[in-house]
Each structure stands twice: as structure tokens, then as C-alpha cells.
Amino acid sequence: MDIANALIEALLQRGVRRVYGVPGDYVLGLFDRFEQSPIEMICTAGEEGAGFAADAHARLHGLGVAVVTYGVGALKLLNPVAGAYAERSPVLVISGAPGVRESDGHALLHHSIRASDTQQRFFNEVCAETARLDSGRTAASEIIKVLAAMERESRPGYLELPRDCLTRPLPWPLPPVANAAPAPEPAPLHLQRGEELLSWLRSRQRPVVLAGIELHRFGLQADLLQLLEREGWPFATSLSAKSLLNERHPLCLGLYEGAAGPEKVREQVEGSDGLLILGMPLQDLDTGIFTMHLEAEHVVRVEMAEGLRWSQGDLDSLDPVALLQVWKEAPSASAGSRALAARAQSGPAPFEPLPGVAITVRRLINALNQRINADTVVVADPGDALFAAADLRLPEASDFLACGYWASLGFAIPASIGAWGGSSNPKVKPLVLLGDGSFLMSANELATLARYHIPALVVVLDNGGYGTERPMLDGPFNDVQPVDHIALAYAYGFKAAQRVQFEEDLALALTTMLANEDGPTLISVELKQGDVSDVLRNLTAALAKRIQPEAKS
């Protein structure tokens, strides 16, 4: 077995069946090896697209892989890989590199910058672990080291493979993936503090769990759901953790986003006398730019980096994994304890198109809500497409993907490639929501959707510019060049595309496009400038109050 075969075997052992990339001369040999292997290579239009596709794949599957050439290819991945690091998505970057013998000659090789380790040092900043595979004797241990760190931290990893090292032999076979070791017994201090916290929450009159994205990244959804149903606690999620659990579950309150979110959810979360914020780092977009109003004595926080933060005593080492393990083994509440009644969730608001009425963002979401089913994965770009999508109610867990914290425009179209490639559902149909500004940043990946016959529906919210930024500070810099989205979609090979302005046209277009099974389709929705989602309207109103000068006495 040589280094290239060992790398491919390590991926196969971990269930990888598709990888994403763009060829280049330093990585052509490895591309050829992938073509000869059981792993399918999805060639994207650009390296950034490969990175976002691998990110989406990783969120659904547990490991995503982007394969690129050196320098100009790998450095285009820094943006999506930094986002994957920030949002704890295990994306493996495999970069080709100049050959060891070439580099030793100190020749001025194309794509090279400064020293031979410069690129690896860049990725050290945004990866859990990095390694260079230039020796058959160490390659196996380096591959395993990187993959183990990615699994442990749920963050990206980086492997650099010089092109003259693919065939270097390993002196021994690649070891198989070890079976997962049984979870260790909880530490005495974890057990004590976990039991104290459980007792405290059971004593509350209005307990609520606010669940965050770390629970998804570390595979804790089943344990969380078991706990919620056992205790009868209602739950809300952050925007970045949307669809962590079934959003139509009777205990689901919806999304909590500070002042930006629905008033009913805000009242229940902020009115709780026992709020557990679990696996949710308090970043600005999840908290409505810090517009939440929480009473410190009623709040407990448990997250990976900070551990337990509680007015009755902190504990740095008690993270969500350890806490849910303690609670999983805890006895059920006594028969005399109060159980919460299940909350019946109303279905999506009905959408009956009104003749001659122009489409609004709110009505667009109503129309989409009625058409979402178990085969739909929603992929939303940052901006009002993401904020509007907060009002969708997904029937299946983990069927919403967004770049909610890193907030990089251009995420959604390439991420839909990975949503298709990483899903265990062979009938999956990505629903892509993005603005006209985001579309300009990622339209080249429409070609990838068409090339692989991915049955995605791309919905462009066309309001003539960066609608999220206009309420903050407007100017001509927020305008974008008008584009014929329909002509461009057909030019890239789409099966169908339509521009709509009125509700009747939207209803007909959705029926037609969603019935298509043999490739991507597109709907360009003409919106009035200034028409925004309820979430964005609430958010900007709350921010306006914060930045207005205080009235003089």
C-alpha cells in the first residue's frame, strides 16, 4: 500500500463516498487515484465552492473532503475552511504540493509563496490538526492523527501531499478504524454538579432548554430529545441550530433570536425561571445582536469551550457531552413532580395565491412552507434569505443548513451540492434560498448543479441589492448589477427557470419546478426594495433603539 491508497482507504473506512474538488497539476495524480477508487469525485466550478460543498457534506455525514491543488487552489479554501472552524464542521482539506525533489532544488515553482511550509502554516490557524505526507513511514500515523483531531474537536483538518510522494510505500498496512470506546464513567464532580443542576431545573415552574449548534456537531440530538421527552421540558433553538430537532415536535417553541425573533418565543424563553442554554456559544447573530433580556439568576450555560456557567457554581470541565451523559443515567422524576403538557404546534400558514398581488418576503415563505416535506433540505445564504427562512417549519431534524455565524455570502449554492452529496436520503431535494447579491458571488456553481443533475430548486430573492445592509447605512454601494437570472440559469444547463412577480405566478412556478426530478431549476422572485422579513425588521428596529442618542433631559 502506498500513501495515496492509504489516504483513500482511511476515507473509505470512515464512510466517505463523495469528495469535492478542482483539479490542478500538483494534484492530478491524486485525482486519478480517486477516479480508480469507489469514491466519487464531484468537480466543482471553483475551489471555494468545493469548500462550501464539503462543509455541507460534513454537517450531514460527519466528514467532508475538499481536494485541491497547491497555492492558488488551497488558498481559495481559506474562507470556507475558516467558516467550518468557526461553526465546528469537520472538513478535511487535501492539497497537492510541489514534489519533495522539486522543492529541494530551490526552483521558482508556480503557485509557490515564501517557504515550503507557508501554506501549511496558514491552515494551522483554521484547523484542528495539519500534516504533510512526505514519508511512507509516517504517513499512516499522520493521517490518523489529523482525522482523530477532527473527530475529537469537530473542526477542519489539513493534509498536504507532494506530488512525487503518492507512490511511496507504507512499511505496514493502515490500521482499521477502532470501534468507539464506551463512554467513561462520569467524574465524581461532573456527577455531583449534573445532579444538582437537574434537581434545580426540575424545581422550576417554567423551565426551558435553549439548544445550540454544538449539540448537532457532537451528535447529541438523540440524547437531547430523550431528555426533553422524559422531563417534559419545552425547547427553543438558536438560528444556527435551526432544525436541530424536528421543528414540528410538540415541545418545540421555535427559534429564539433575542429581539429579532417571534414575540411569543421571546416571552417564553426570557420569562423562564430555569433557562438552560445548552451547546450555544452566545454569538451575535444567534442572539439578535445581543438584544436578549435574561435574568442571570435564572440562567445556566453549558458549552464546549466555557463548561458550566451557573450562579450556584461554575465548572470548566462539564461540557454538553458530559452533562447529557450524567442526565441520561439519572432516574426519572418522581411521580409527584410536575410534568409539562405538550404544546400543539400549528401547521404552516395556508397559502392561497391572490390574483394580481405582488409577492412579499412573508408570502414567499408561506408558499414554501406548504411545500416542504421529508425530502427537502433547506440551504440558506446569509442575509434576509437566512432571516426569512427562520419562519420555515421543517418536519425533519438536521434539514436546514446555513452559514449563520461565519456569515459568508456565496455559501448556499455550493452548499446545496454537498447537501445532496452527503445526504443519506437518495430522494433529497435541496431548496436553496439566497439574495441577488449572494447570487453574483456563487452563480458559477450553477454549472455544477447542472453537471451532476442535482434536483435543487434555487430561489433568488431579488430586491436590487444588499437588503440586509440598507437599513443600517444605505448608499449606491448597496446596489448590485441587475442580472437576467433566467438566461444565466439556462446558459449553465438548468432544466427550467422562471421570473415571477405575482403570487399566482409563484404558486404555479413552485408546482412546476418541484415536480422536476432530473436536474436543477430556478425561480427568480422580484421583490420591492425595502420589503424584508419580520426577523430583519425586528432586528433593525431593536438596533435602532440601541444606537439612537439618549434624549436630553
For helices 47-61 and 78-86, the axis angle rounded to 10 degrees is 20
- Looking at per-residue confidence, does 10 or 177 come out higher? 10
CA-nearest of 432, 383, 404 to 216 is 404
- pLDDT tens digits for range 69-96: 999 999 999 999 999 999 999 999 999 9
Q: Are residues 465 and 372 in the same domain?
A: yes
**Burial (0-12, 13-18, 19+ Cβ within 10 Å), 360:** middle
Is the pLDDT at 369 greater than 60? The verdict is: yes
Single residue among 124, 144, 162 that ends a domain in this structure: 162
- Looking at per-residue confidence, does 468 or 424 come out higher? 424
Question: With the CA atoms of 73, 74, 76 and 81 taken in that order, what torsion angle do they form, in degrees rounded to the nearest 10?
Answer: 150
Structural domain contains residue 349 = no
CATH number at residue 425: 3.40.50.970
Single residue among 329, 347, 373 that ends a domain in this structure: 329
- pLDDT tens digits for range 488-531: 999 999 989 999 999 999 999 999 999 888 899 999 999 998 88
Q: Are residues 213 and 157 in the same domain?
A: no
Check residue 358 and give its pLDDT: 96
Structural domain contains residue 83 = yes
550: DSSP letter: P
**How far is Cα 133 from Cα 29, in angstroms, rounded to an integer?**
15
- Separation in Å, CA 516 to CA 116, 455, 466: 49, 7, 30
Q: Are residues 56 and 157 in the same domain?
A: yes
Structural domain contains residue 277 = yes
Q: Are residues 153 and 271 in the same domain?
A: no
Other residues' Cβ atoms within 10 Å of the Cβ of residue 418:
32
Q: Which residues of 304-335 are buried (b: 16+ CB within 10 A; e: fewer)?
A: beebbbbeeeebeebbbbbbbbbbeeeeeeee
Other residues' Cβ atoms within 10 Å of the Cβ of residue 401:
27
- For the entire predicted model, the pTM comes to 0.92
Contact in structure between 68 and 21 (CB atoms under 8 Å): yes
Structural domain contains residue 519 = yes
The one-letter amino acid code at 420 reads W
Q: Are residues 123 and 218 in the same domain?
A: no
For helices 28-35 and 3-13, the axis angle rounded to 10 degrees is 50
Structural domain contains residue 505 = yes
Single residue among 286, 305, 329 that ends a domain in this structure: 329
**How far is Cα 69 from Cα 97, in angstroms, rounded to an integer?**
7
The one-letter amino acid code at 257 reads E
Structural domain contains residue 129 = yes
Structural domain contains residue 551 = no
**How far is Cα 139 from Cα 99, in angstroms, rounded to an integer?**
15
How is residue 165 written as a grid cell? 510522494
Q: Are residues 371 and 421 in the same domain?
A: yes
Q: Are residues 106 and 146 in the same domain?
A: yes
Check residue 299 and give its pLDDT: 95
pLDDT band at 404 (very low <50, low <70, confident <90, very high): confident
Q: Are residues 464 and 509 in the same domain?
A: yes
Check residue 349 and give its pLDDT: 67
Work out how many domains the chain is built from and give that number: 3
Q: Are residues 150 and 214 in the same domain?
A: no
Q: Are residues 197 and 325 in the same domain?
A: yes
Q: Are residues 156 and 197 in the same domain?
A: no
- Looking at per-residue confidence, does 51 or 347 come out higher? 51
Q: Which residues of 16-34 are buried (b: 16+ CB within 10 A; e: fewer)?
A: bebbbbbbbebbebbbebb
Structural domain contains residue 335 = no
Q: Are residues 78 and 132 in the same domain?
A: yes
Q: Which residue has 440562567 as its cell numbers?
A: 299
Contact in structure between 61 and 15 (CB atoms under 8 Å): yes
Region 266-288 average pLDDT: 93
Check residue 420 and give its pLDDT: 97
Judged by average pLDDT, the poorest of 35-49, 331-345, 418-432 is 331-345
The domain in which residue 20 lies consists of 3-162
Check residue 470 and give its pLDDT: 79
- pLDDT tens digits for range 168-216: 999 988 888 877 667 778 888 889 999 999 999 999 999 999 999 999 9
Question: With the CA atoms of 488, 491, 496 and 501 taken in that order, what torsion angle do they form, in degrees rounded to the nearest 10?
Answer: 20
